[in-house]
């Protein structure tokens, strides 16, 4: 997710400045404050003699090793003990690297650096070592209401868990009309309403208690789904819930309702993956284009939202195609899920997932392929080909999907 830290950088080159500016635009730093100064490491020393140090200082330097070490020692004298330092240097030398790390520098990067290198360094420095694992957060959002976003989210979550390696928690954020409990045939005693009613009290143990267990690998944090309550969600409380959930499972699936509120936008920006679910018609195309442009800017290059087309039926000539969506949004659909009312309604009425109703249905295969494309892991021993869940590159997966569903 994102870091809330203060960062000050002292750069020497335009390339380093550009990389840092690009990193600032990434969602991982969307809540951080960054300022960039010229002058490199030598300029940082007089500056911090007069100013407090931030959480993280990035200094670029190009002097010889002895001069640099002397300057870093002086910097350490004026640094707050919690301040971390990342050095951007020119010399690719493992001994220098080791000396710097043992002197307390958090990371040494060799220029020219990329935005991604800096972001990875920040992730490494600020990830919580106390957490056993940090689940991957995937947010699902229907670009229009009723397009099947929750259905796709739940079935993808189920498919991830079914592969047998990853644990999954589904968080149903449609507080009033959410259907996760119904869909997974659960009768939860406690819901997200309890979690959001007193966010200050939340901790991992409480979140674990609020989770209804569908099976060993799959749990849900259900919505209260009651019109009498007006449980409010705000971004800070939601982030707290997600952070605790991330310590409990390797995938966190967010089922977002089709409303446009600040916390929904924040969830779509901060999630590791934002999946836009659309029905192939013109109105959906317009919303998908708007959302993909907006979220693409906020999430940064390399972290664009993903697109899933749902209820696809090539026999309906009125439907738009994946190619139309690609031309309008620039997004290649990650999966096309076939339309089948009987399958999905039967599943919904039984409190089952589509794969439990018909494991070999092409829509079920698409949802399994979606699970793999989102990074779900298949156990090594069972892999015999694409059907057994080998993790294939997106392009190959889509080709396989095409070959197995279009005829
Ligand atoms: N691929 C599909 N084929 C046929 N029916 C589907 C498919 N996917 C979803 N549906 C049906 O569409 C209806 C709406 O699904 P769902 O509640 O998942 O949509 P949603 O986008 O989450 O809606 P909301 O905007 O209310 O959150 C359900 O009846 C579901 O069974
Ligand atoms: Mg929904």
Percentage of residues in the chain having pLDDT higher than 90: 73
* C-alpha distances out from residue 121 to 8, 30, 95, 182, Å: 15, 16, 19, 42
> Which is nearest to 36 in space by CA: 50, 54, 63, 62?
54
Segment 113-145, tens digit of pLDDT:
999 999 999 988 987 666 556 799 999 999 999
- Looking at ligand 1, which atom is closest to the CA of residue 310? 1
Please state, in angstroms and rounded to a whole number, the distance separating the CA atoms of residues 157 and 83.
39
* Choice from 139, 145, 151 to test ligand 1 binding pocket (greatest atom count within 8 A of CB): 151
- Looking at ligand 1, which atom is closest to the CA of residue 154? 18
Residue nearest to ligand 1 atom 12, measured at CA: 148
What's phi and psi for 311, nearest 5 deg? 65, 40
Neighbouring residues of the ion ligand 2, judged by CB less than 5 Å: 150
pLDDT for residue 379 = 77
pLDDT for residue 384 = 46
pLDDT for residue 386 = 46
Q: Could you say which ligand is closest to the alpha carbon of residue 342?
A: 1
DSSP characters over 179-223: -HHHHTT---SS-HHHHHH-GGG--HHHHHHHPEESSSSEEEE--
Task: Please list every protein residue whose CB sits less than 6 Å from any atom of ligand 1.
Answer: 142, 145-151, 174, 179, 257-258, 310-311, 337, 339-341, 344-345, 348, 363
The answer to whether 311 and 350 are in contact (CB under 8 A) is no
CA angle 163, 134, 276 (to 5 degrees): 65
pLDDT for residue 132 = 57
Give residue for tokens 């089948």: 340
The answer to whether 248 and 204 are in contact (CB under 8 A) is yes
Query: Quick count: other Cβ atoms within 10 Å of Cβ 27?
Result: 21
Segment 390-405, tens digit of pLDDT:
555 556 656 665 665 5
pLDDT for residue 392 = 54
Query: Quick count: other Cβ atoms within 10 Å of Cβ 146?
Result: 9
pLDDT for residue 383 = 44
How is residue 225 written in tokens?
Answer: 């789904």
* Choice from 143, 148, 319 to test ligand 1 binding pocket (greatest atom count within 8 A of CB): 148
Residue 266 has pLDDT above 50, yes or no: yes
Residue 230 has pLDDT above 90, yes or no: no
Residue 306 has pLDDT above 50, yes or no: yes
Domains of the chain: 6-126 (3.40.50.2300), 136-405 (3.40.50.300)
Q: What is the pTM of this model?
A: 0.77
Segment 69-106, tens digit of pLDDT:
999 999 999 999 899 999 999 988 888 888 898 888 99
Residue nearest to ligand 1 atom 26, measured at CA: 146
pLDDT for residue 143 = 98
């Amino acid at each position: 997710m994102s870091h809330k830290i203060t960062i000050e950088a002292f750069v020497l080159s335009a390339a380093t400045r550009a990389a840092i500016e690009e990193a600032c635009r990434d969602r991982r730093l969307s809540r951080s404050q960054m300022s960039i100064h010229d002058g490199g490491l030598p300029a940082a020393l007089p500056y911090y003699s007069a100013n407090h140090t931030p959480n993280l200082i990035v200094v670029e330097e190009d002097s010889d090793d002895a001069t640099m070490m002397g300057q870093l020692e002086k910097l350490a004298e004026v640094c707050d003990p919690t301040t971390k330092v990342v050095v951007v240097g020119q010399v690719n030398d493992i001994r220098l690297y080791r000396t710097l790390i043992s002197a307390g520098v958090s990371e040494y990067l060799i220029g020219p650096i990329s935005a991604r290198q800096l972001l990875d360094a920040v992730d490494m420095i600020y990830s919580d070592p106390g957490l056993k694992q940090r689940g991957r957060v995937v947010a699902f959002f229907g670009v229009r209401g009723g397009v099947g976003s929750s259905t796709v989210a739940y079935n993808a979550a189920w498919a991830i868990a079914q592969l047998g390696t990853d644990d999954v928690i589904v968080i149903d954020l449609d507080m009033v009309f959410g259907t996760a409990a119904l869909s997974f045939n659960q009768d939860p005693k406690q819901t997200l309403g309890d979690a959001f009613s007193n966010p200050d009290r939340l901790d991992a143990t409480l979140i674990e208690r609020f989770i209804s267990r569908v099976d060993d690998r799959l749990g849900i944090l259900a919505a209260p789904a009651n019109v009498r309550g007006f449980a409010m969600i705000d971004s800070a409380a939601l982030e707290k819930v997600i952070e605790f959930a991330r310590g409990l499972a390797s995938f966190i699936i967010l089922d977002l309702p089709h409303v446009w509120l600040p916390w929904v936008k924040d969830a779509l920006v901060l999630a590791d993956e934002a999946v836009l679910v659309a029905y192939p018609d013109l109105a959906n195309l317009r919303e998908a284009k708007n959302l993909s442009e907006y979220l693409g800017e906020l999430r940064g290059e390399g972290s664009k939202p993903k697109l899933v087309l749902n209820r696809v039926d090539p026999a309906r000539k009125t439907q738009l195609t994946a190619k139309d969506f690609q031309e309008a949004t620039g997004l290649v659909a990650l999966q096309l899920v076939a339309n089948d009312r009987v399958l999905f309604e039967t599943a919904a009425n039984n409190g089952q997932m589509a794969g439990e109703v018909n494991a070999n249905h092409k829509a079920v295969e698409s949802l399994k392929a979606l699970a793999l494309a989102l990074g779900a892991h298949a156990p090594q021993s069972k892999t015999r080909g694409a059907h057994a869940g080998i993790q294939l590159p997106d392009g190959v997966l889509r080709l396989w999907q095409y070959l197995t569903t279009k005829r």
